[in-house]
């Protein structure tokens, strides 16, 4: 199955998020089969990411957005964070600081885009500035509605400079979210995650869905596509995202650089050292 094709929002496509499945099992017979597939994809990702790191010519940006409890943290831990930490950084974007608010909304984002050879993972992102900001009425429509175009130009600029961009939305049903809230409540180890605000956001489910929908429709571009990932099953979420990242890295086709040294010179240096050591 081609997970990229399956879940990619086509540029210009009209989206009905409400009617997109959250529960698919895709081609997997069961959880175990999906986990095996994920493990295989993670090994491919590790191999390709290492090549990209050494090649030092292009970079990858993975943007994650999702309702609360949809599984961003689990996905990072089990899939994306399995990359070599020397070539991969995760950036959380929380409520902006006073200093950050003193700048345009892309200022804090731009500082975290990946340099050549590197992967950046954004846990939330500049999309909050057309999502939460819109639903909670933090900035007026006259401001946020102009940001879609600003975002597209920004992302095209990154792409032109050699950054491949994947934007992943974890799509869960409100029923599954409530189930997960319950699990947090039932497990004292997870009590620190409890927050009445989760229920406030939940009460605005339709408004958020509308905001997501417009963001995906207007900002899924060839340079920076959005993917809507059915995420009620954690194992499908992991398997499909791992596949999309692996396929993307594979298409980036990173190449180990040819040595730019004289091999004969290195050999001579080695042999001289060996001789010195043996005397």
Residues contributing to the site for a second copy (CB under 8 A): 54, 73, 76-77, 80-81, 83-86, 88-90, 92, 121, 123, 174-175, 178, 181-182, 185, 189, 191-192, 194-196, 199, 202, 256-259, 261-263, 265-267, 269-270, 273-274, 277
The values of phi and psi at residue 92, to 5°, are -90, 140
Q: Residue 126 Cβ, how far from a second copy at the closest point, in Å?
A: 19
Q: Residue 175 Cβ, how far from a second copy at the closest point, in Å?
A: 6
Is the distance from CB of 245 to CB of 166 less than 8 angstroms? yes
Q: Residue 4 Cβ, how far from a second copy at the closest point, in Å?
A: 23
Choose between 30 and 265: whose C-beta lies nearer to a second copy.
265
Which among 76, 79, 159 is positioned nearest to 123, based on CA atoms? 76
Q: Residue 214 Cβ, how far from a second copy at the closest point, in Å?
A: 26
The values of phi and psi at residue 121, to 5°, are -115, 120
Choose between 19 and 277: whose C-beta lies nearer to a second copy.
277
Tokens of 209: 């869905």
Q: Residue 256 Cβ, how far from a second copy at the closest point, in Å?
A: 6
Rounded CA gap, 171 and 42, in Å? Answer: 22
Choose between 10 and 191: whose C-beta lies nearer to a second copy.
191
Going by C-beta distance under 8 Å and a sequence separation of 6 or more, which residues neighbour residue 6?
Answer: 26, 240
Choose between 140 and 174: whose C-beta lies nearer to a second copy.
174
Helix extents (H) in the chain = 3-7, 31-55, 72-78, 98-101, 107-110, 132-135, 141-144, 147-160, 174-186, 196-202, 205-219, 234-252, 263-278
Choose between 147 and 180: whose C-beta lies nearer to a second copy.
180
């Amino acid at each position: 199955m081609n997970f990229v094709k399956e879940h990619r929002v086509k540029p210009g496509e009209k989206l009905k998020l409400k009617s997109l499945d959250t529960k698919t099992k895709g081609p997997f017979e069961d959880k175990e089969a999906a986990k095996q597939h994920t493990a295989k994809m993670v090994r491919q990702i590790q191999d390709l990411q290492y090549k990209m790191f050494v090649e030092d010519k292009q970079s990858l940006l993975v943007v994650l957005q999702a309702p609360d409890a949809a599984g961003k943290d689990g996905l990072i831990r089990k899939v994306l964070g399995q990359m070599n930490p020397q070539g991969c950084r995760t950036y959380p974007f929380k409520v902006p600081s006073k200093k950050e608010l003193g700048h345009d909304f892309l200022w804090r984002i731009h500082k975290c885009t990946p340099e050549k050879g590197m992967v950046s993972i954004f846990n939330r992102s500049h999309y909050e500035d057309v999502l939460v900001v819109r639903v909670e009425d933090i900035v007026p429509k006259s401001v946020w509605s102009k940001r879609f175009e600003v975002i597209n130009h920004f992302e095209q600029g990154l792409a032109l400079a050699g950054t491949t961009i994947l934007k992943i939305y974890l799509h869960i049903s409100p029923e599954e979210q409530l189930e997960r809230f319950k699990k947090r409540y039932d497990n004292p180890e997870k009590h620190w995650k409890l927050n009445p605000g989760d229920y406030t956001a939940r009460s605005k489910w339709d408004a958020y869905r509308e905001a997501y929908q417009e963001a995906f429709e207007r900002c899924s571009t060839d340079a920076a596509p959005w993917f809507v990932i059915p995420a009620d099953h954690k194992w499908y979420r992991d398997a499909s995202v791992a596949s999309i990242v692996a396929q993307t890295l594979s298409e980036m086709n990173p190449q180990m650089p040819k040595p730019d040294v004289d091999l004969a010179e290195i050999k001579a240096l080695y042999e001289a050292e060996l001789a010195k050591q043996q005397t």
